[in-house]
A and B are shown apart, each in its own frame.
Chain A
């Protein structure tokens, strides 16, 4: 009889770009200068879109909206590693991924304005509808990955969820299934430290979220989620592993939600302002801008020019969204089943008789 260690594990963290904008040359991903500039531009577009959305919400021109402020690097960096043919399974705070994949900006505003037509995905993209129920889309990404492999399609699926999502049963069931079947899926945790008012420390007693991968027999890594280069590199490696038959991976992006949970929330009720200030110093845009400036790829004039261009683009997107003809009553019936039932047809007629909801 004996008692001995039969297994032991380590958890890695990847950091490439520090807060002063310096990089570890040995860890630098294989990206060209235009790629590096593009990453920054996409982060700035995400931030300005986000700020505009908050303004629109305050003006009563947008519904409840979840700000992505502070998480730009973990979203843009990971999405930049995706290919257009890959399938993306969002939670509800993945603006930066949508922006990076080239989703129409007007439609993002449209969705958060309460119009489901905003979820109409452009044909060349494979984006699942936004998932409001926390973590329940995790098995879907696994199923699509298994289906892709069955069909012989050389793609991977990427599933995003938050630190709160790792507490859900579907996190366990999905990751377990992915591990068992070696599905080509990459799980990307947006650990922004807070699930509304419940902090990461109250979400789990585990030291990291990355270590949860160990239990499922799949590779897991923590990355500095405010370091766009580290996030890109980790995601690229995981996607390559998935596409080459190496199975699933888990990436914990260690980042921070600078804003309230949504426009219906007040984080000041539960969060220490000093914590927010501490994370402000780690702003993902600031450090990338410093890095680009040091490399001679960025200056104040370019910054100003890009901000102006983005503002004009957002003006156009908002104008387009607000000029969209209203949805019709028929739309709520048309998509429940493939065909409307006799009862639905009668209900629709009754609605039309009662209220002239149809403008089309």
Chain B
């Protein structure tokens, strides 16, 4: 077993999948010779060649559109878009085609496509490089949305995403790329898409988070008897794990860095309100980014929730 950061864990997952299955191909701008702008695909071009690790033109809609055609033909493409904000130019491909192909063909065609992309704030990057618009993608049935919160889970979830016959938007929290190190074993790791995990057990309050907010939530939870759930798959999401926890703790804090209005926290809050409202001992609290365009570096700290804010919300619902 080797200690790895998330970049290395993702690279290992890609390498193992390329070795395991000749149908797996990578494509995207700079994924080949350059090894990706974050070095996620480093060494893969040399190991697997230009037919498996394909450097494409700067062309987001075609990267995803071509990958859809490859997937329909039977390959398992893993497309990289350099930043989530750059997928906006290719949303038509994701929404109108990747998400719908199986339905439109009545199950005859599948779209085993993974679109990998860094997302989220806290890294002082230019505009469109720190988007956290996951809720928008979660509103499109047919598209799975997966967000790892640690190196081990990044490898496990990426393997599972590549092997699922459905299209997956795989959101990699940029802030975590090199922040955490963890033992990441070789070989298959057991996770299932659509399942959440209890990252930290506790009895008096449930905290639901994903991506880079998981790390902050775990830090915030340290002083409390708080249960922290790593949602991991946002669509379809594991309502049962959340409901079971809330029924036990009676309190819920949802944390995300995306804007509050229409954010995925609203979906979780609504689910708990519908199915477990009588278990609640306090109002549900959301700790989220503001309803603003993700700010440029000098002001971004105002927007991304901090561990202190999360701890404050936990204390507040406990004191209610």
Contacts and interface: CB of A to CB of B under 8 A. Distances in A.
Given A139-B62, A338-B110, A151 B74 contact: yes
Contact of A177 (B56, B71, B89, B104): B56
Interface in A208-227: none
Contacts of A142: 62, 65-66, 69
A12 B251 CA distance: 73
B292 to A, nearest CB: 28
Contacts of B105: 119-121, 128-129, 335
Interface in A60-112: 87
A116 B166 contact: no
22 contacts: A117-B106, A119-B104, A120-B105, A136-B93, A139-B64, A139-B93, A140-B66, A142-B62, A142-B65, A143-B67, A144-B70, A157-B69, A170-B62, A173-B59, A177-B57, A177-B62, A180-B56, A335-B103, A335-B106, A338-B164, A342-B240, A343-B239
B289 interface: no
Contact of A139 (B68, B74, B239): B68
A354 interface: no
A336 to B, nearest CB: 5
B72 A140 contact: yes
A141 interface: yes
A125 to B, nearest CB: 11
Contact of B69 (A146, A169, A331, A334): A146
Contact of A337 (B56, B92, B236): B236
Interface in A284-336: 331-332, 334-336
Interface residues of A, number: 44
| Most chain B CB atoms below 10 A, which of A116, A139, A141, A341 | A139
A239 interface: no
B125 to A, nearest CB: 25
Contact of A147 (B74, B89, B97, B104): B74
A147 B77 CA distance: 10
7 smallest CB-CB distances across A and B, nearest first, come from A143-B69, A139-B65, A173-B62, A147-B73, A143-B66, A140-B69, A341-B236
B114 to A, nearest CB: 14
A173 B67 contact: no
A336 B99 CA distance: 8
Contact of B72 (A128, A173, A176): A128
B144 to A, nearest CB: 7
Contact of A140 (B92, B97, B110): B97
Nearest to A145: B69
A258 interface: no
A216 to B, nearest CB: 11
Q: How large is the interface on B (under 10, 10 to 19, 20 to 34, 35 or more residues)?
A: 35 or more
Given A116-B103, A139-B62, 19 more contacts: A120-B106, A128-B109, A136-B92, A136-B93, A136-B96, A139-B61, A140-B69, A142-B65, A146-B69, A147-B69, A148-B73, A150-B25, A151-B73, A176-B59, A177-B66, A335-B107, A342-B236, A342-B239, A343-B239
B315 interface: no
Interface in B263-301: none
Contacts of B142: 336-337
A248 interface: no
A117 B104 CA distance: 9
Contacts of A177: 56-57, 59, 62, 66
Given A173-B61, A174-B62, A338 B102 contact: yes
Nearest to A341: B236
Nearest to B142: A336
Contact of B102 (A117, A148, A337): A337
B187 interface: no
Contacts of B97: 133, 136-137, 140
Contacts of A338: 102, 110, 164-166
Nearest to B66: A143
A237 B55 CA distance: 30
Interface string B232-257: 00001001100000000000000000
Nearest to B52: A150
Interface string A138-173: 111111111110110000010000000000011001
Nearest to B112: A338
A169 B25 contact: no
Contacts of B69: 139-147, 157
